[in-house]
Structure 1
Amino acid sequence: MDRPVVSIIGAGVAGLACATELADRGIAVEVLERAAHLGESACSWMAGGMLAPWCERATTDEIVARLGEPSIDWWRRHFPGTVSKGSLVLTPPRDAADLTRFASRTERHEWLDADAIAALEPDLAGRFRRALFFADEAHLEPRKALAALAAGLEARGVPIRFGVDVKPSQAEGDFVVDCRGLAARDELPDLRGVRGEMVVVRTRDVSLSRPVRMLHPRIPLYIVPRGDGIFMIGATMIESEERRAVSVRSAVELLNAAYTLHPAFGEAEIVELGADLRPTFPDNLPCMRRKGRVLHANGLFRHGFLLAPWLARQVADAVLVETRDADIPQRRHA
């Protein structure tokens, strides 16, 4: 089969990344999405968009950093809006030991003192004594990145058909790539949803150039600048599959983190509150599984934009060489 036709179900970050990678390799592709428009039902719409493999290594499996590192260049090639200014990790002085523990679990960082923090982020001058700077990391605006991938596909003649709700067995094509997220539990019963919540605020009184992670004793918190005074604050991780609005407790925790970073956030305007469920396998790692002509690409958990390019490469390799689980890492077993 020299040029198989591939039908991709789902236009979230997994589906669009798979379509882009396949198109890059000369494969005929179509994308089928049940929602009426881009982002209507994709949890990718609520993502932080941090391309931070070494920050993630401090709190997740080492393989996440190894597989995620090449994604930074992948996104730079496919989305010019990718911002390459690194990541900053800090904590209030009373919790300095947490920063030391974080540093011991990862690499590719440098320690900053108060003066260096002020030079990097002037609006944080005098507020923190020490920080970790991950200069090689990047970030992007997820909604703009998804729109850019979709536009790139359409410019290359790849059709994206919205309002099409099909099962993998119903889709046409020599191969079918199932990127439906949690909706794929009819085929992948070990998927579970992990709830994430976020707040978007607007203020002209704070300026940041890069994502800032605030170490927290219970949940990881980050603040990502979106430009034009917009900041996304996340990301709670709750083992719950309940679909409802953001809880008061989560909103308070997220906003308190922003206030701790800079009191001016206390006067910020709340633009959006959002919550969704991240599709997750038991080991919290993404996976490609092949069942006949169907490739199930799923389980990105909270690493959607970081690991989607890796997952897309596994799908493209499998399509091209017609082998099962090409380059899939050894899975952990409970």
Structure 2
Amino acid sequence: MARIDVIGAGITGLWQAFTLAERGHHVRLLERSREPFADAASRLGGAMLAPYCEAEAAPAIVRDLGLHAMTIWQDKLDCVQQTGTLVVAQPRDRAELNRFAAQTEAHETVDSARVAELEPALEERFRTGLFYAHEAYVPPNSALAALLQGIRAAGAELHFGAERIEGYADFTIDCRGLAARDDLPGLRGVRGEMALVETSEITLHRPVRLLHPRFPLYVVPWGGDTYMIGATVLESDDRGPVTLRSGLDLLGLAYALHPAFGQARIVQLAADVRPAFSDNVPRIIFRGSRIYVNGMYRHGYLTAPALAAMTADYVEGRRPNSEIIVEDNG
């Protein structure tokens, strides 16, 4: 079995460490923050396992990775909520719904009665929609905690407050996101902003996406009366607070989804930056004994288990055949 250091304890690094430790390798997980998840963009993710919906804008490889990853999520963790995804639009934005349907698959076109059956709170608010029954989501806090617990249970070492410690490793798997930009030319930052709200005035049972020509929105139930509202994708590496405009967009469109969100309490407005390459497709880059897993864009939760399986196969002497794998011997 190999000795492996995994650097970075966001969703990507956690799945790398979990997969390798479960396969019997000697794993050390190194994270620069002293508290778990304190500096990880993953803590703010919508955590939707939505390969079909994401195919509206992402290349086919992302959908395929997501489908593979979903089977791993379901096999390894019990926090997966397979409730499907509901996509709706206002009548004036029907063209957006038609476009979305044409660019995706594995959906059911639903009328107002079916929308009300799926989400009673949305009764009579939308005449039509799309339902992706095979999609799922995970509450991020539960998923991150479960992975960390699984890593410990598999016998890996955890080192918080450190990105490097002495000791021999056969491989180092670098999952530092934007912190690896000096090593990975072309890696850029994509800013995402979110609102976390609490309300007992409305109950949603699954992720709901509201299409809009300028600013599509998603709302994800995080358990209890808590909902994550998100969808901003900004070309920026600014990790500063949410801007006024983005806050207005997020909260205004949540109100458009249902006026009950007007009474919601804002628990958190937060932003962070996700790493991406020019095509928004992740890469596994092999440079001798150092392996970079990066460029997750907004697909970290969706694809991380599949990338971890590929990396583990490589470490064990198999060579996965995928367009996302780069062997850099320079």
Shared fold by TM > 0.5?
yes
Contact 2:274 2:297 in 1 (8 A): yes
1:300 CA drift (Å): 0.5
1:330 CA drift (Å): 6.1
Mind listing any 5+ residue stretches in structure 2 that lack a counterpart?
A: none
Q: Which of 128, 133, 140 in structure 2 is aligned with 1:135? A: 133
In 1, the alpha carbon distance for the partners of 2:198 and 2:218 equals: 15
Which residues of 2 match residues 5-154 of structure 1 at below 5 A?
A: 5-154=3-152
SS at match of 1:73: helix
Matched, 1:327 2:321: yes
Contact 1:7 1:172 in 2 (8 A): no
Q: Which of 212, 222, 225 in structure 2 is aligned with 1:226? A: 222
1:143 CA drift (Å): 1.8
In 1, the alpha carbon distance for the partners of 2:324 and 2:164 equals: 31
1:328 CA drift (Å): 2.7
In 2, the alpha carbon distance for the partners of 1:331 and 1:215 equals: 33
- 2:186 maps to 190
Deviations 1:256-307 (A, max 9, x none): 1110111010010000111000000111110011111100111100001001
SS at match of 2:266: strand
How many residues get paired? 326
In 2, the alpha carbon distance for the partners of 1:41 and 1:202 equals: 24
Matched, 1:157 2:155: yes
SS at match of 1:186: coil
In 1, the alpha carbon distance for the partners of 2:288 and 2:154 equals: 28
Contact 2:284 2:324 in 1 (8 A): no
In 2, the alpha carbon distance for the partners of 1:142 and 1:122 equals: 25
Alignment RMSD (CA, Å): 1.6
Deviations 1:66-106 (A, max 9, x none): 11112222112222111001000000111111101100011
Larger CA deviation: 26-35 vs 205-214: 26-35
In 2, the alpha carbon distance for the partners of 1:331 and 1:21 equals: 18
In 2, the alpha carbon distance for the partners of 1:264 and 1:215 equals: 19
Letter aligned with residue 85 of structure 2: S
Deviations 1:115-135 (A, max 9, x none): 011011100001000010000
SS at match of 2:181: helix
Q: Percent identity?
A: 47
Q: Which of 240, 246, 255 in structure 2 is aligned with 1:244? A: 240
1:317 CA drift (Å): 1.3
Contact 2:190 2:275 in 1 (8 A): yes
Q: In 2 relative to 1, CA 131–100 (structure 1 residues): closer, same or farther, beyond 3 Å? A: same
1:171 CA drift (Å): 6.7
In 2, the alpha carbon distance for the partners of 1:297 and 1:172 equals: 21
Contact 2:93 2:213 in 1 (8 A): no
Deviations 1:19-76 (A, max 9, x none): 1111232222110011011111111111000000000011211221111112222112
Contact 1:314 1:327 in 2 (8 A): no
Contact 2:139 2:223 in 1 (8 A): no
Q: In 2 relative to 1, CA 331–163 (structure 1 residues): closer, same or farther, beyond 3 Å? A: closer
Contact 1:78 1:149 in 2 (8 A): no
- 2:206 maps to 210
Mind listing any 5+ residue stretches in structure 1 that lack a counterpart?
A: none
Larger CA deviation: 305-314 vs 265-274: 305-314
Contact 1:221 1:234 in 2 (8 A): yes
In 1, the alpha carbon distance for the partners of 2:292 and 2:155 equals: 24
Structure 1 runs of 4+ aligned residues shifted over 3 Å read none
- 2:297 maps to 301
1:228 CA drift (Å): 0.9
Q: Which of 303, 306, 309 in structure 2 is aligned with 1:313? A: 309
In 2, the alpha carbon distance for the partners of 1:38 and 1:330 equals: 29
SS at match of 1:70: helix
Matched, 1:254 2:250: yes
